[in-house]
Amino acid sequence: MKNIHVFLFILTLSWVGISICNYSAASQVNEANISDFANRLYDVGITGEKSIWNGYDRHDFTYDSRHCIVVVPKIPADHLPWIWRARFFGHEPQTDLKLLEKGFHLVYMDVANLFGSPSAINHWNTFYNYLTRHHHFHRRPALEGMSRGGLIVYNWACANPEKVACIYGDNPVCDFKSWPAGRGKGKYHQPSWEACLKAYGLTEEQALAYKHNPIDNLEPLARSVVPLLHVCGTSDTVVPMPENSDIVEKRYKKLGGKITVIRKSGQDHHPHSLKDPAPIVDFILSCTTANHDKFHCNLRHGLTNCRIKFKREKKGRVAFLGGSITYNPGWRNMLCQYLQQRFPETQFEFIAAGIPSTGSTPGAFRLTHDIFKNGPVDLLFEEAAVNDATNGRSDIEQIRGMEGIVRQARMLNSNIDIILMHFVDPEKMKVYNEGSVPAVIRNHEKVAEYYQLPSLNLALEVNERINAKQFDWPNDFRNLHPSPFGQNVYFRSMKHLLDTAWAQPLPENTRLTPNPMPAKALDKFSYYRGRYVDIDNAELVEGFIYDPLWYPKDNIGTRSGFVNVPVLQASQPGAILKLKFKGTAIGIFAIAGPDVGIIACSIDDSIFRQIDLFTRWSPNLHLPWAYVLDAELGPGIHELTLKTTDQKNSKSGGHACRIVHFLVN
């Protein structure tokens, strides 16, 4: 009698220097640890048979009534990675052997006659829990589905997307209507088809209408950013590509998933794999590094108040404030869907308040108007790290703007939960790769720490994962405006933050509690009293006119919300307006198009100061831009005098000034 526990005890001895409780820990395992762990293994009570397979210890045993195999590497890799093979154990094993050399365990559970049915998934769930909970295998294995093994790896992965590092499919069956049903060009195999119908409990008519084959159920994998690799013969007559892998490739890419297909020109279903498995091995290694699971989030004070509102009061108002990365569809829509699914009985109102090109400074002045106009908000997602940096806002402005949003939101609703997010762009990646931290992230984190806000550093995560060769910038992420793949990366991390914050049951006695509000602001001139002042309040002295529905006549692009709206505009030098206001800061929200000039402003009859309204994006766009003319005034009543001048940027085509809102703090 050979016992599977012997193999696991030997495995344990190889773990010296790795924490048995946390694979990322570096603590040493002493003899008492090993003895205790071995005793726990023997308590499981599984017997098995040991043999040698290609020079490695192989252990065969029965678990959950299924035949199982575990092959042990000579030196297990850190974090105990493993390749989970679904079918035809030992056939074309070159990939498995190379991974064993790299310290992977090779795992097999025979569910061949179940064709990826719910009962097969249940067996795999049980075995997965056994290996990860009792023996600390990594929580995210690489899955290998050869031929009909494609059904179980995909169906199990779609049921457990966060437990999968990657999928390697080799001429995989992705639709049982293709094989074994043979309803297209795939081969009909009567015994297998009858067994498949029995495993699913379906009639033939029901099976042909079934909508949960792998080709139909890829969205969970795309949302969890699971990379796919298929190795296929282009002339496969058993599992034809057009009915299987080609459909998966097309649909997965449309969902924003990352998939690579290696096509073996002219080859049939056999032989499987590649003579040189290096591309397969490299793919799996790139997907199983520790950084893939390294999220850079800080929960701080947590997210309890909004959870109480969503779960108990069954109502929730969730707002998204930011620039174009918030305005564009993608992660925001996924997050709304996630919240609705997590709290299915809750009536949500989602406020999409992203305005392209804007950062924290305009965000602070438009917060009341754009976010709180319908009442208190329970959860606010805020991002400004990209625009605050690219728009050239100073360190002081970055803090004043972000604190303006946070402190003002807390003043309007002390129970509000706020999440700060730092999105990625090439400049941030460059700074991180030079061993530093981008200034804008340091500044925003000061605010997050001061007010104990949860924050999520997606810039650092993306940079680390690109450096680990899990994906790249030009082909996968593509831009600071993420591709569909990049949107999935963002959503996965946001979902992780929320899942972590809400992992434990909500105690019955938990009540809404005001969030921390420091007595003093980080900067006394922060824009936490910022607001819009209507342009109707201005005195038009000369040259400025009121246009109730401004629209450009030059066919240059515009921004939603800043076209067909009232503006004060002047097109010639010498136009003058005045505005009396109460506050410590004054500014304008203007439309900075290709024809804007240089204005001059004076506050309380001070010396006129010039401001160039032309931006780096003005040549091709009429875009909204917030100009703070003075931020450190004394309290009380002031008067602004603003005039157009005969000067302009050398790239500008005119002297225009168009004001949509006045900004007052």
Domain boundary among 262, 290, 318: 290
What is the separation, in whole angstroms, between the first and last Cα of the chain?
Answer: 80
List the domain range (segments joined by +) for residue 280: 49-290
DSSP 352: E
Residues 555 and 202: their CA atoms lie apart, in Å, by 59
Supply the CATH number for residue 483's domain: 3.40.50.1110
**For 16-25, 150-159, 545-554, which range has the lowest pLDDT when averaged over its residues?**
16-25
| Residue 506 domain-assigned (yes or no) | no
Supply the CATH number for residue 591's domain: 2.60.120.260
Task: Provide the number of structural domains found in the chain.
Answer: 3
| Residue 210 domain-assigned (yes or no) | yes
* Residue type at 173 in one-letter notation: V
Are 537 and 489 within one domain?
no
Helix (H) / strand (E) element for 70: namely strand 66-72
- In the predicted model, is pLDDT for residue 165 greater than 60? yes
Q: 344: Cβ–Cβ under 8 A, 6 or more apart, which residues?
A: none
Query: Averaged over 322-344, what is the pLDDT?
Result: 96
Please report the pLDDT score of residue 473 as a whole number. Answer: 96
Supply the CATH number for residue 137's domain: 3.40.50.1820
Please report the pLDDT score of residue 48 as a whole number. Answer: 77
Nearest to 589 by CA among 403, 371, 359: 359
* Phi, psi dihedral angles at 229 (to 5 degrees): -135, 125
Please report the pLDDT score of residue 122 as a whole number. Answer: 98
| Helices and strands per DSSP (H, E), number in the chain | 20, 27
* Residue type at 186 in one-letter notation: G
DSSP, residue by residue, 404-418: HHHHHHHHH-TT-EE
| Residue 36 domain-assigned (yes or no) | no
Please list the alpha-helical segments (H only) found in 201-269. Answer: 204-208, 219-223, 245-254
Whether the CB-CB separation of 229 and 259 falls below 8 Å is answered with yes
Residues 162 and 170: their CA atoms lie apart, in Å, by 22
| Residue 587 domain-assigned (yes or no) | yes
Query: Averaged over 378-398, what is the pLDDT?
Result: 97
Please report the pLDDT score of residue 34 as a whole number. Answer: 33
- In the predicted model, is pLDDT for residue 36 greater than 50? no
Domain boundary among 259, 290, 321: 290
* Phi, psi dihedral angles at 534 (to 5 degrees): -65, 145
Give the rounded percent of residues in the chain with a pLDDT score beyond 70. 92
> pLDDT class for 78, splitting at 50, 70, 90?
confident
Are 329 and 413 within one domain?
yes
Are 401 and 279 within one domain?
no
Query: Averaged over 425-436, what is the pLDDT?
Result: 97
Residues 378 and 536: their CA atoms lie apart, in Å, by 32
Nearest to 75 by CA among 30, 54, 105, 35: 105
Count how many Cα atoms sit within 13 Å of the Cα of residue 23 in the half-sphere of its side chain. 20
Are 389 and 482 within one domain?
yes
Looking at every residue in the chain, the average pLDDT score rounds to: 92
> pLDDT class for 293, splitting at 50, 70, 90?
confident
- In the predicted model, is pLDDT for residue 22 greater than 80? no
Whether the CB-CB separation of 485 and 258 falls below 8 Å is answered with yes
Please report the pLDDT score of residue 37 as a whole number. Answer: 33
- Print the SS3 string covering 483-550: CHHHHHHHHHHHHHHHHHHCCCCCCCCCCCCCCCCCCCCCCCCCCCCCEEECHHHCEEEECCEEEEEE
Are 377 and 421 within one domain?
yes
Residues 610 and 643: their CA atoms lie apart, in Å, by 10
Please report the pLDDT score of residue 294 as a whole number. Answer: 80
Count how many Cα atoms sit within 13 Å of the Cα of residue 493 in the half-sphere of its side chain. 29
**For 11-15, 24-28, 583-587, 618-622, which range has the lowest pLDDT when averaged over its residues?**
24-28
| Residue 520 domain-assigned (yes or no) | no
Whether the CB-CB separation of 451 and 414 falls below 8 Å is answered with no
Please report the pLDDT score of residue 520 as a whole number. Answer: 97
| Residue 10 domain-assigned (yes or no) | no
Query: Averaged over 541-565, what is the pLDDT?
Result: 94
β-bridge partners, 146: 170
Are 226 and 155 within one domain?
yes
> pLDDT class for 45, splitting at 50, 70, 90?
very low
Count the neighbouring beta carbons within 10 Å of the beta carbon of residue 262.
Answer: 13
- In the predicted model, is pLDDT for residue 143 greater than 90? yes
Tokens of 267: 């080859």
Between the CA of residue 309 and those of 377, 406, 512, what are the distances in Å?
A: 10, 20, 8
pLDDT in tens, 579-614: 999 999 999 999 999 999 999 999 999 999 999 999
DSSP, residue by residue, 82-135: EEEE-SSTTSSTHHHHHHHHTT-EEEEE--GGGTT-HHHHHHHHHHHHIIIIIS
Are 273 and 304 within one domain?
no
Query: Averaged over 291-310, what is the pLDDT?
Result: 91
DSSP, residue by residue, 226-272: --EEEEEETT-SSS-GGGTHHHHHHHHHHTT--EEEEEETT--S-S-
| Residue 199 domain-assigned (yes or no) | yes
DSSP 215: G
Are 467 and 369 within one domain?
yes
pLDDT in tens, 606-653: 999 999 999 999 999 999 999 999 999 999 999 999 999 999 999 999
| Residue 414 domain-assigned (yes or no) | yes
Tokens of 280: 């397969």
Whether the CB-CB separation of 357 and 557 falls below 8 Å is answered with no
Tokens of 108: 């097999």
pLDDT in tens, 399-411: 999 999 999 999 9
Are 232 and 336 within one domain?
no
pLDDT in tens, 442-466: 999 999 999 999 999 999 999 999 9
Whether the CB-CB separation of 657 and 596 falls below 8 Å is answered with yes
Residues 13 and 632: their CA atoms lie apart, in Å, by 66
Are 238 and 311 within one domain?
no
Are 561 and 459 within one domain?
no
pLDDT in tens, 200-256: 999 999 999 999 999 999 999 999 999 999 999 999 999 999 999 999 999 999 999
Task: Look at the pTM and tell me if it is higher than 0.85.
Answer: yes
Comparing 355 with 22, the larger pLDDT belongs to 355
Are 327 and 411 within one domain?
yes
* Phi, psi dihedral angles at 503 (to 5 degrees): -70, -35
Domain boundary among 233, 265, 290: 290
